[in-house]
Each structure stands twice: as C-alpha cells, then as structure tokens.
Structure 1
Amino acid sequence: MDKILVVDDDLGIQKQLKWSLTGYDVIFAEDRQSAIAQLRRFEPKVVTLDLGLPPDPANASEGLLTLEEILSLAPQTKVIVVTGNNDKENALKAISLGAYDFYQKPIDSDTIQILVHRANNLFKLEQENRQLAKASPAMGKIIGNSEQIQLASRRAEKIAQTDISTLLLGESGTGKEVFARSIHDHSLRRDKPFVAINCASIPENLLESELFGYEKGAFTGANKTTLGKIETAQGGTLFLDEIGDMPLGLQAKMLRFLQERVIERVGGRSEIPVDIRVICATHRNLQSMVAEQTFREDLYYRVGEIVITIPPLRDRDNDIVLLARTFLSQYNEEFNTKVKGFSDTAIKAMLQHNWPGNIRELQNKLKSAVILCEGTMIQADDLGLMVKEEDDSMETLNLREVRELAESKAIRRAYHLSEKNMSRTAELLGVTRPTLYSLIDKYHMEDIKTGV
C-alpha cells in the first residue's frame, strides 16, 4: 500500500484526511522536525503539507521551510500544499519552490482524493521513466519504450555482431547515427574506429577523394598522399549517412568496393584491401529512386542486406515525454540548472506537436527551454509550443456521456502506459482490478478484454 505523509498539527484535519484517503497508508507529522523524520523513515511518494506549522502557525514561514527541506532530501516527492482561504500568495510561492499543487481549506474529500491520486500516479510514472533512462539498454543510447522503437532496437541488437551491410531508413532527426553507433559499440569491431561521413554535405567533385583518398599529385593542390574515410575506418565501421544523395557516377565505384573490399585512391593504380563494416542511412525512398534510375538497383541490394526502419517521433507514443525527461537531466547537468520537470500544459503541448524535426527538434527546444525557464517547471511557452484548444462546439453537454467518454479515454491511456498489464492499469487509475474489469465491461471495450 502506497504511503502518504500528512503534515498538519490539527488532529481534526488529520482524521479527516485519513478517512478521505482510503486505499493509502496514511502517516502523520505535526511539525517540521517530525515531518523530516517521517520522510526519511517511510519515503512517501506524496506529502500533503499545511503551511501554518508550529512554532509559527499564524504564518507560512515554517511550512515553506519544511517544503524546501522535503524537496532537497527527496526532490521527486509530490508535495500538495494545503492553505487557508486567503493565502493564495503563499500557495503560489510554494509552487515556485517546487510544490506539485495546492489546495485551499476547507478540505473536500473528493477533491483531495483526486489530487493525491494524480500526484501518486505521476510519481510512479516518472519513477519508471527514470529507471528506463538510467538502465543500460541492450543498444546503448537508444531510448524508448514504444513498440516501434523496441522492434527497431531488437533488430539492431540481433545484427550487431555480424558484418552484414545495414541500411537505416528514417526521416531527418530520427536518430539514424545513434543507431549506427550503437550497432558499432555492440559489435566485435567496437575497439576499432567508427567513421561517419554525410554524402549530402560534401560537394560532388570532392566526395570521391573524401571517401577513397588520393595520391600525391593526383590533382592541383594534392601535395601529399591522403587517406580517405574508407581507409581510416580500417578494421572498424564506416557510416555513410544520406547515401541517397550520392552521385550516380560515384555509386559504381562504391558498388565495386562493397563487392570486392578493395579500393583505389584517386590518382592511384594499386588496389588496397580494406576490412570494414558498412552501415548506410537515408531519409529518401531508395526504391522510388531505383525506379527513377537515380540510384543503382545493384547498389541498393548490396547496402540493404538488412533494412531497419526508425519511426518518426510523432509515432512513438509516450517516448516523447521519456526522451524529454532524459534530455532535461542532461541539460541540467550541462548548464548547471535545476529545472525539475514539466507542467501539465508543457506535456500536453509536446504530445500534440507533430515534431517535423523529430528528436533533433526536441533536443533544440529542450536546450533553449532549460536556459529560458524562470521557475522550477518548464512551461509550454518555454518550449515555444502552443496547447491546441479542443473544439467543443459539437461537444455533448450530457454529464453521463461526458463521464463515460472521460473514463473510457483514461482507461485506454492507462492500459497502453502500463504495457497492457491489468494490475498496473488499475494502479494508474487508482481503482481495484474488479472495478477496472467492471468498467471495461460497462463500456464494451472488447479489445482490452481480449488483450489486443
């Protein structure tokens, strides 16, 4: 049973909250010293904190000090501040210090129950995300829990210790080089060089010498023999990014190298054997290019012995929030900032955004948001995103229908967040398993009943 710490010196409030928070193990503290002692002993996920604590119950100073100490010891704890009717200023100050939410007396059972349930579920979700981020996944820096990214990661893991030529397909910014580096890092060639070259960023007349190297005197300005990217990757991995932009004339020379594993430098006459693994990537549709005769069909089949498709960020479910929290942690360390998380509107805005620039765009927005954020929580404005208002012109006003729609939507979201685990789904929703099954029957959710 999850523990909730109630910090309040009013015995009546303590009893009321204990009665309201059925389903939780409620523990109590009446001042700062006992609150910190209980925090250390029980490590509660959620704390309700009255700001008016002894020895200065008429003011909020002791309560705010308690809040700061709680968050310094357990920064992930969700603290709900309970205040008097005319104490909004101190409530907002508590939020700026990192409190999760605030609630004004008198206590309403249903409201405080909802606030605690939400805070408790958020703590658990964030805890899972932190564990995922800290874990050493099979493929290193590949972060994600969505079915699509897990499938791609499993394929990469299976081929890592082979030398099979691999083609990575995906939109710009989806992390193709991260996949290529992870494959190299988990291969038998991990102690040898990983050499990357972007075929689209080098002018056509220079790309050949950049790849194959050149002999002294091969052209004007060739003052010494220079190794190309292929030779410098000897024993390791060569990553050809945006191979779809490789000039057609150079594709024939690349095909010969892949078939024979020998190269000739520009201006050279001797063949040089090369032992490397080749991983290619592109955002283009190579099959269409083959049909249009702008990419050689024989080269396509040579580089694509195994094809791994990396999904765009917009199709990766809640990986968006997981990645955002991972980048937040990185940038907090990089910029020496102490941003603690994201507001509900920021999360909603991120989930609504289409992410045309994919992970690269998310990184850029997070980096600027961490620098620009003025509070402890990143807001949608910090990210430069807007929360889209839902069109309610056709929305039903029937309360029963509204409730059914909201409940069924919440059930589906919790079901997918918990990876179709019914016990975990019930926990996220704050209900028992029998209640969950009853709701599933009530709303005729046959796909969940059958585990689809």
Structure 2
Amino acid sequence: MSGNICIVDDEPSILNTLSSILEDEGHQVTLAKSGAEALKLIRSEPPDLVILDIWMPEIDGLETLKRVRQQFPNLMVIMMSGHGSVETAVKATKLGAYDYLEKPLDLEKVTILVRNALHQRKLEEENLNLRIQVERHSELVGDSPVMETLRQQISAAAPTHSRVLISGENGTGKELVARAIHLQSPRRSRSFVEVNCAAIPETLIETELFGHERGAFTGAVAQRRGKFDLADGGTLFLDEIADMSVATQAKVLRVLQEQQFTRVGGGKLIKVNVRVIAASNKDLRQEIEKGTFREDLFYRLNVLPIEVPPLRNRCQDIPALVRHFLRIHAEEQGMKLKEITDGALEVLARHDWPGNIRELRNQVERLMIMVPKPVIETADVIPFMPGGQDGAIHRVSALDTYDSLRDARHAFEREYITHRLRDNGWNVSKTADDLQIERSHLHRKIKLLNVELRPEA
C-alpha cells in the first residue's frame, strides 16, 4: 500500500536515507528540514503520514506534533529520536503519535511501521465513510414498534462477537442492518467486507472467499487474498447465503469451526478472527428441507437471528422515509429540496411496496426529478404509482386522500385526459374533438396538469 509521506528532520543524512528507502517501497515523499517548514507543507497538501523528528531547533517535534494534531486530528504521525526515553515516547503518544522510532533507525522496522500506519489510516477512512454512508443513507428510519424492536436487536447483538443471521424480503435493508451492527461493535475500527453470494459464479466463489496462490490455475499470475483474509479482525457479511452451493457451504462451515483455511492451490493454514454476519431473503429452514442448505451451517450461523420487517408492516414509517429520501436525492442530484403534502404521503403510505425500501426510494427519486413544482401534491403522485395510469384512482380508493377539491379535480382531469390521449394515439387534435374543447384549451390543460404526451414504455 503506497502513500504520500512527509519526512521532517534537520539531519540531511536521515532525510536522504529515509526518502530512498520509502521511494523504493513505492511511496511519494516530501522533505522538510524544520517544524515550521513541515507545517507549511502539511497545510498546503496534507500527506497520508508524517515521520517527525523530536529534537529540532526552533519548533521541536513535540510542539510540531501538537500543532499538526490541532489542525489535522486524523493525520498519522510517527515520531523518531536519537535521544529516546520512555517519558518522551509516552508524551508523544499522549499527544496523538501513532508510534515511536529510536535512532539509529532499523530500516526494516521503519518499512513495517509505515505499512501498518498507512493500513490503519485506510481502515479509519473506510469506517468513517461507512459511518457517514449509514448516517446519511440509513433506512433504519421510523418510530413504528417493529423498527424500535429492530434497533433494540441491533444494539443487543452489536457488542458481542456472536454470529448473526439476518432474514427479510428483498429491499428491506438487510445489508444496512449488518453495517449498523459492525459500526456499533468492538470491531468497528477494522474492515467490513461484503460478499454477495448470488452475484459470484460457483466456479469463482471459493477463490473469492479464500483467495488463491500464484499458479493455482490458469490466469492466477499472483497471490490473491480472499474475503476471509481481508476481514481478519473485522466483520464478513455473507449476503444471500442461500444461493451458495452445498459444496462451498461445507468449506465455509469448516472455517467457522476452526477459524482457519487454506488458499486455493496452497497448503499453508491461515488463521483468522472473523465475525460472520449472514443474510438471506429465503426461508433457510425450507431450503434445508429441500436439501439445498446444510442444517449444520444453519445452526452455526443462526446464533443471533434478526428479521427485518417488510415495508407493508411499518406503513406509519413511510412519511419519515419519504422525507428522508427527498433530502438524500436533493443532495445527490444537486437539486433544491422539495416539499410534499400530507395527501401525497397518504397515497404513498397506502401502497404495499412489494419491492420494499428499495422500491420506495426509487419512486421518491422519480418524483423528485419528474415533478417540476417545488411541492409534490397528491395529483402529482398518483400517475407515478406502480401499475401505470389505469386504475390509479381506484387503487387509492379514498376521498380523504386529497388535500383539497382542487387536488381531486386535477387528479381526475389528468387521469381522464391521459386516458383519452392514449385511446387516440396521443393525437392532441383528435383528443380535443373527442373532449369537445378547443385544441388550444387542451394544450393549456396538458401543460397545467403535467400530462406526458408520449405512449408509456
């Protein structure tokens, strides 16, 4: 893993030696001969790692470290000194240094320490991004009883190292639950590695999980680490595990039992400490009866079962989810946030949403883009409901759906005009004749009601 490294020392020989070693390792190196020069370089372009000498004239290393940490609290800093003492090392650590090196430098130790520091920085960045993603895009929104229960289950499961089996329909947010468990767990500073078992061909799943050695098969030109290896110390999320073959299930079971494995084409045992969270949209007990899922693996995984409720069982959360998605799409599309009326929310809340959260989110994005007004009203929502224009009003089937007589009238006119346009092959003149109104008047209605003048795909 390469990175941008700033070396700070007033001794030219140290600068030259370290820069040569680190550049040979593939890193980009910048040099500073004083604390003041280092602070200037770091402010102009923050590096991934700073290697900082303690004993320097004017601003010493500890003072430089203090100023760096004030301005860049997440920046990795390794201290070094030719006058090392336990007291100095402790002080540097308390000020936020990642580690401490003594001169004369052991160059092998330097390269290992640099590699570890950069790896730690990468993990912290990944987890920060993961935390931001979960906070911004979390679909664990709502105050319904089933959601309160789900959050309680996540909070109870997260602090442990026990395996979790998440069940739920497609689109309910099983992956999000897995990520939330990881972020609340003692493993949150380590990797969260995901494997979609349904998306990987059976011929590749073993290599994906366990890795392979160089020359293990045609095309294996280099050693490759598998997902179990990459998740060491962290969490491995096996999504759609019911789609894994019985043969691969046996190998996964062995890893869970022994916490060790061999790469494809290799003989060396690799020990790992991995927490496995699995998920499936299928009933695994039924899969066991059909002979497509191993019963012993099921019991290994089903230590802490969590079921994610479908959206139809938490309809009262839909308004909060819709507003949440409106904010997200406004940010992602660079658009101004739109409001939505209670009547429009009622229309959305009455639908079953067989695609669950995923379907609702797509629908909100569609409304955000296609409705040109700053406020999304009932009449705007109905034509976009699943199933197309025909029968939309009948599906809603409630007079109190509309916020006003104007909304109800507009909804009916829009539906009726669209129906007549479709019958007339989207010919405006012919439709105007059928409706017994002027063509110009129909054009005004089409524009006012936002009727699309094209056949539905």
Equivalents in 1 of 2:395, 2:298: separation in Å?
A: 45
Partner Cα distance (1:265, 1:172) in 2:
32
Indicate the residue corresponding to 1:348 in structure 2: 346
Supply the distance in 2 between the matched residues of 1:166 and 1:225 (Cα, whole angstroms): 31
Decide which of 365, 371, 380 is 1:367's aligned counterpart: 365
Distance in 2 separating the partners of 1:342 and 1:325: 8
Contact 1:352 1:388 in 2 (8 A): no
Counterpart pick for 2:241 among 225, 229, 243: 243
Structure 2 counterpart of 1:189, from 187, 190, 195? 187
Cα separation, 1, equivalents of 2:395 and 2:350? 10
Alpha-carbon deviation of 1:371? 1.2
Instruction: Return the offset for 1:156.
Output: 1.0
> For each residue in 1:272-313, what CA deviation from the matched residue of structure 2 results, as whole angstroms up to 9, or x when unmatched?
000111100000010011112110000000011010000001
Partner of 1:336: 334
State the 4+ residue runs in structure 1 displaced beyond 3 angstroms.
381-392
Is contact 2:353–2:360 with CA below 8 Å preserved after alignment?
A: yes
Aligned residue-pair number = 257
What are the residue-to-residue correspondences of 1:150-161 with 2, within 5 Å? 150-161=148-159
Counterpart of 1:310 in structure 2 is: 308
Task: Give runs of aligned pairs for residues 67-78 of structure 1, distance below 5 A.
Answer: none
In structure 2, how many angstroms separate the alpha carbons of the residues matched to 1:323 and 1:246?
Answer: 33
Aligned to 1:319: 317
Whole-Å Cα distance in 2 between the matches of residues 388 and 338 of structure 1?
Answer: 32
Deviations 1:245-295 (A, max 9, x none): 010111110000001100111111111000111100000010011112110
Question: Which is worse superposed, 257-266 or 142-151?
Answer: 142-151
CA contact (8 A) 2:382 2:393 kept: no
What do residues 17-76 of structure 1 show as CA deviations (whole Å, max 9, x unaligned)? xxxxxxxxxxxxxxxxxxxxxxxxxxxxxxxxxxxxxxxxxxxxxxxxxxxxxxxxxxxx
Amino acid paired to 2:381? A
Q: TM-score, normalised by structure 2?
A: 0.54
Q: Which residue of structure 1 lines up, in the alignment, with residue 254 of structure 2?
A: 256
Paired AA for residue 188 in structure 2: R
State the 1:153 CA deviation. Answer: 1.4
Q: Which residue pairs with 1:174 in the alignment?
A: 172
Superposed displacement of residue 155, structure 1: 0.7
Structure 1: tracts of 5 or more residues without a match: 1-135, 393-452
Instruction: Please report how far the alpha carbon of residue 224 of structure 1 lies from its aligned counterpart in structure 2 after TM superposition.
Output: 0.7
d(CA) in 2 for partners of 1:377 and 1:184?
38
Structure 2 distance, partners of 1:197, 1:255, is 16
> Which residue of 212, 227, 231 maps to 1:229?
227
2:381 aligned partner: 380
Cα 1:381/1:336, change in 2 over 3 Å? farther
Q: Identify unmatched segments of 5+ residues in structure 2.
A: 1-133, 387-391, 399-457
CA contact (8 A) 1:243 1:282 kept: yes
The alpha carbon displacement at 1:384 in A equals: 3.5
Shift of 1:140: 6.9
TM-score, reference length from structure 1: 0.54
Kept after mapping to 2: 8 A contact 1:198/1:240: yes
Residue in 2 aligned with 1:271? 269
- What is the alpha-carbon distance in structure 2 between the residues aligned to residue 382 and residue 390 of structure 1? 11
Contact 1:369–1:382, Cα closer than 8 Å, also in 2: no
Residues 32-111 of structure 1 aligned to structure 2 (within 5 Å): none
Tell me if 1:281 matches 2:261: no
| Contact 2:167–2:281 (8 Å) recurs in 1 | yes
1:318 is paired with a residue whose SS is: helix
Closer/same/farther in 2, CA of residues 151 and 387 from structure 1, 3 Å limit? farther
Q: Which has the larger radius of gyration?
A: 2
CA distance in 1 between counterparts of 2:171 and 2:259 reads: 31
Structure 1 counterpart of 2:434: none
Q: Verify: 1:205 aligned to 2:239, yes or no.
A: no
Q: What SS does the corresponding residue of 2:252 show, helix, strand or coil?
A: helix
How far apart in 2 are the matches of 1:253 and 1:389?
Answer: 49
| TM-superposed deviation, 1:390 | 6.5
State which drifts further: 369-378 or 274-283. Answer: 369-378
Equivalence map 1:403-442=2 (5 Å):
none
1:115 is aligned to none
Per-residue displacement from partner, 1:161-187 (whole Å, max 9, x unpaired)? 111000000001100010000000000
Q: 1:339 deviation in Å?
A: 3.9
Which letter maps to 1:380?
A: V
> How big is the shift at 1:377?
1.7
- The alpha carbon displacement at 1:387 in A equals 4.2
- The alpha-carbon deviation at position 158 of structure 1 amounts to 0.6
SS of the residue 2:216 aligns to:
coil
Contact 1:174–1:310 under 8 Å retained in 2: yes
**Which residue identity is paired with 1:149?**
M
Which segment drifts farther, 288-297 or 239-248? Answer: 288-297
Distance 1:346 1:383 in 2: 11
CA distance in 1, matches of 2:270, 2:156: 31
